[in-house]
């Protein structure tokens, strides 16, 4: 049975990183691609930086796909307490690859970006079956096969958009969003299905189209469903 990998989409400030708040830190490992602080109190203590020498720590800060694969393989093989893996924010891996090779005039860098995007998802599917992986990704406005506008995963370059149907690699794609409440507060939530977007979820996994912005709830739903 493959490890289950889900895609979490959202714009900046929509609640992607916030959705990690209620995951149990002891059982969660975060790949922090840009080294940003997590948006909840005490996260620097609850998610200590991973130590390559000892194999301890719950947060890896790197933009290298090779390092990510090496460390996640170690975590899968040697850290049985880890049940949730988060890659936040995935699209910056592509951005850093592009900026390092920006002076190249051919399409080779885009080939590398496309291969890395696909390989990372397929690699995560080969981790321990009891691990759930969530890949966090920014959004952009694109078009579906019929030319209709849709909200979709942000990718790098026309070549990648044409050759890689990224959401097709996932069974579940959720979209972070927010709205103003009755008292003026901001309420964050996930779309589990939404027109004019690539959002999707398995039939009958969620009864509601909008659910709380909480990956703990999502994780329980996935576990119970299968």
Question: For the chain, how many structural domains are there in total?
Answer: 1
Predicted pLDDT at 24: 97
Alpha-carbon distances, residue 64 vs 37, 92, 116, 200 (angstroms): 19, 10, 10, 29
Predicted pLDDT at 159: 67
Average pLDDT across the chain, whole number? 92
The DSSP bridge partners found for residue 29 are 85
Contacts of 37 (CB under 8 A, 6+ apart): 43, 44
Predicted pLDDT at 97: 80
Q: CB–CB of 67/60 below 8 Å?
A: yes
Residue-range definition of the domain harbouring residue 173: 4-225
Confidence of residue 2 (pLDDT cuts 50, 70, 90): confident
pLDDT at 125 over 70: yes
Q: Among 24-28, 158-162, 173-177, 206-210, which stretch is predicted with the lowest mean pLDDT?
A: 158-162
Please state, in angstroms and rounded to a whole number, the distance separating the CA atoms of residues 16 and 215: 9
DSSP class of residue 129 equals T
Report the 3 state secondary structure along 77-89: HHCCCCCEEEEEC
Mean pLDDT within 5-12: 96
Q: Can you tell me whether residue 165 is helix, strand or coil?
A: coil
Sign of CA dihedral 146, 169, 87, 195: positive
Q: Among 30-44, 46-60, 193-207, which stretch is predicted with the lowest mean pLDDT?
A: 30-44
Contacts of 60 (CB under 8 A, 6+ apart): 29, 30, 31, 32, 49, 50, 67, 68, 71
What's the CATH number where 95 sits?
A: 3.40.50
107 vs 72 pLDDT, higher one: 72
Please state, in angstroms and rounded to a whole number, the distance separating the CA atoms of residues 101 and 83: 35
Closest Cα to residue 190, out of 208, 210, 173, 204?
210
């Amino acid at each position: 049975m493959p490890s289950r990998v889900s895609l979490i989409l959202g714009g900046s400030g929509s609640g992607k990183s916030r959705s990690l708040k209620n995951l149990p830190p002891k059982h969660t490992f975060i790949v922090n691609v840009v080294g940003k602080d997590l948006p909840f109190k005490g996260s620097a203590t609850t998610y200590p930086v991973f130590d390559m020498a000892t194999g301890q720590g719950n947060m890896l800060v790197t933009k290298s796909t090779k390092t990510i694969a090496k460390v996640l393989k170690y975590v899968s093989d040697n850290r049985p307490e880890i049940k949730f893996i988060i890659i936040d924010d995935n699209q910056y891996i592509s951005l850093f690859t592009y900026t390092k090779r920006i002076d190249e005039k051919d399409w080779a860098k885009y080939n590398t970006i496309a291969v890395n995007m696909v390989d990372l998802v397929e690699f995560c599917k080969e981790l321990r079956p009891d691990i759930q992986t969530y890949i966090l990704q920014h959004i952009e406005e694109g078009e579906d096969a019929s030319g209709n506008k849709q909200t979709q995963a942000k990718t790098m370059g026309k070549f990648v958009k044409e050759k890689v149907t990224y959401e097709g690699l996932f069974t579940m794609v959720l979209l972070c969003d927010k709205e103003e409440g009755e008292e003026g507060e901001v309420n964050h939530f996930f779309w589990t299905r939404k027109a004019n977007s690539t959002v999707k979820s398995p039939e009958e996994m969620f009864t509601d189209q909008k659910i709380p912005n909480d990956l703990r709830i999502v994780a329980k739903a996935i576990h119970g469903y299968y």
